[in-house]
Structures are given as C-alpha cells and as structure tokens.
Structure 1
Amino acid sequence: MTLDATDRRIVEALQGGLPLVPAPYAKVASELAIPEGELTKRLQAMKDSGVIRRIAAAPNHYKLGMTANGMTVWDVQDDRLAELGAQIGALPFVTHCYERPRALPDWPYNLFAMVHGSSKDEVEEKRQQIVTLLGDALRGCDTLYSTRILKKTGLRLRKKGD
C-alpha cells in the first residue's frame, strides 16, 4: 500500500496519540476535514496492509501504580521459541514479548517479555508463572528492572525537506 496525501495527514495527526475526548476519531476527522467513516476506513486499510500494526494506548505504568517493571529475559530452546513466545505474549500480565538473537557467549537470552507489578515480589510471582509455562524448554533466565520511565513514541513521518 502506498500512502496518499490524506493517509499521510492521518498518520501525522495521530502520531502523537489520539485526543483524550469521548469521540477521538470524530475529533480527528473533523480536524482533517474528512468524514469519520473515511478516517476509520483508511486506518483499517493501513492496518490490513501492514502499514500500521495497531492503534493502542501507551500507559504510564508508574502512574497506574505499577512501579516494578521487569524485562524478563529467557534462554529458550530454539525449536520451541515461536510456540512458547506466543503463549507468554498471551499472558494478561505481559505487555510485550519478542524474540531477539543471542549474543554468545555473554548474552544467551533469545526471548524477552515485559512484566509489570506494584512490587518486585509481584513481578517475581508472575515470572515464576512463566518459568512453569516454559518447563523443560527453559535453560536460563534473568530479570532487568527499570530504574526510570523513558518517553515512548510511535511512528513519526518526516516532512518533505527534513
């Protein structure tokens, strides 16, 4: 799919996030001077074609009381990685889960899963659930805790001339 001028305007309007109003798509459509139905149709087409993956909230976990944020890292058997990664990613307490290449000999981990909790004890309880799920496919693991929140941003289009 190639983005036309209207699609680019939509992405630019949404790259900072949806407005926090009762009808966010209606507001964006109004600002772009297009019908709300056209906006949602174009967004769906961009999603269907893979131009955008999703439209989602990016919460500030700290403000939600989730002050213990641990990136759990796992050394999992390669032949089970896709299957087990999908199961871990589906857990309600995992916000994102992905495969990464190992950097041997120093970094044996090939699966990453972000786990949030109100305490390190809570994160550890959740991590133990993942240990159980992985079973004999697990060869090693660790948890890297956040020390501060970083600004999260989504897609940013460059304007012509940048």
Structure 2
Amino acid sequence: MTLDATDRQIIAATQAGLPLVSEPYAQVAAELGLSEEVVCDRLRTMQASGVIRRIAVAPNHYKLGMTANGMSVWDVADERVAELGQKVGNLDGVTHCYERPRALPDWPYNLFAMLHGSSREDVEAQRAHVAAILGDACRGHDILYSTRILKKTGLRLRSRKG
C-alpha cells in the first residue's frame, strides 16, 4: 500500500495517541477537515494492509506498578522458535516478544521477550517460567534490566521534504 498525503496526515494526527474525548475519531476528522467516516475507513484500510498493526490502549506499565523490566534473550532451536515464541508472547507480564536473527559467533540469541514485574524477583520468576516453557529447545539465555526510560513512544513519521 502506498500512503498518500491524507493517510500521512491521519497517521501524524494519531501517532501520539487518540484524543481522550468521547468521540476521538470525530475530533481527529474535524482537525484535518475530513469526515469521521473517511478517517475510520482509511485507518481500517491501513490496518488491513499492515501499515498499522493495531489500534489499542497502551498503558504505562510504570504507573501500573510494574517498575522492574528486563529484556530477556533466548537461544531457541530454530525449528521451534515460532511455536514457543507464541507461547511466551501470550504470557502476562510480557509486553513484546519477537524473533531476531542471531549474530554468530558473539550473539547466539534469536528470541527476545520484554518481561515486566513489580520487583526483580517477579521478573526472575517470569524468566524461570519462560525457561520452563522453552525446555530443552533453549540452549542459553540472558537478561538486561532497564534502569531508566530514554524513549517511550512508537514510530513517528517525519514530513517529507522536496
């Protein structure tokens, strides 16, 4: 799908979140000089084509008390990584889980999962649970704990120049 100027305006108007009003799509439409129907139709089309993955609430896990956060990395057998990654991604406390290519010989990990909890002990318990799910398909793992937030936003489109 090729984005036109109107699609880009809609993305720019919504990329930081929808307005917290009773009719957010109507407000976005009014700000852009479009109808609510056009805004909603275009968002649906962009979602169906994969340009937008989802429209969802994104709670601030820190304000919810989940202040211990660790990016866990796992060396999982390639033939099982998709199946097991889906199970890990469905766990409570995992906000994102994805497969990435290994960078051998220094980086053998191919499954990444962000674990959240109210304490490091909670996160370590989750890590143990993930290890149990992965079982003997996992050859090694590690975790990197967050110490502070440097960026907490999604993708931002930049305006095209020229």
**TM > 0.5 fold call:** yes
CA deviations 1:82-114 (Å, max 9, x no partner) are 111111111122100011222223222110000
The reply to whether residue 124 of structure 1 matches residue 110 of structure 2 is no
CA distance in 2, matches of 1:157, 1:123: 33
Give the percent of matched residue pairs that are identical in Structure 1 and Structure 2.
Answer: 69
Q: Which residue of 1 aligns with 2:76?
A: 76
Give the structure-1-normalised TM-score.
Answer: 0.90
- The alignment partner of 1:78 has SS state of coil
Q: Give the Cα–Cα distance (whole angstroms) in 1 for the partners of residues 26 and 117 of structure 2.
A: 35
The letter of the residue matching 2:138 is: L
Give the SS at the match of 1:116: strand
Q: Which residue of 2 aligns with 1:15?
A: 15
Paired letter, 1:46: M
Alignment-derived partner of residue 144 in structure 2: 144
- Measure the CA separation in 1 of the matches of 2:156 and 2:149: 20
Structure 2, gaps ≥5 residues long = none
The alpha carbon displacement at 1:56 in A equals 3.1
Deviation by residue 1:65-98 (Cα, 9 ceiling, x = unmatched): 1110011111111111111111111112210001
Q: RMSD of the TM alignment (CA)? A: 1.7
- Once residues 4 and 107 of structure 1 are traced to their aligned partners in structure 2, the CA distance between those partners, rounded to angstroms, is 40
Query: Which stretches in structure 1 are left out of the alignment for 5+ residues?
Result: none
Distance 1:35 1:42 in 2: 11
TM-score by length of 2: 0.90
Partner of 1:94: 94
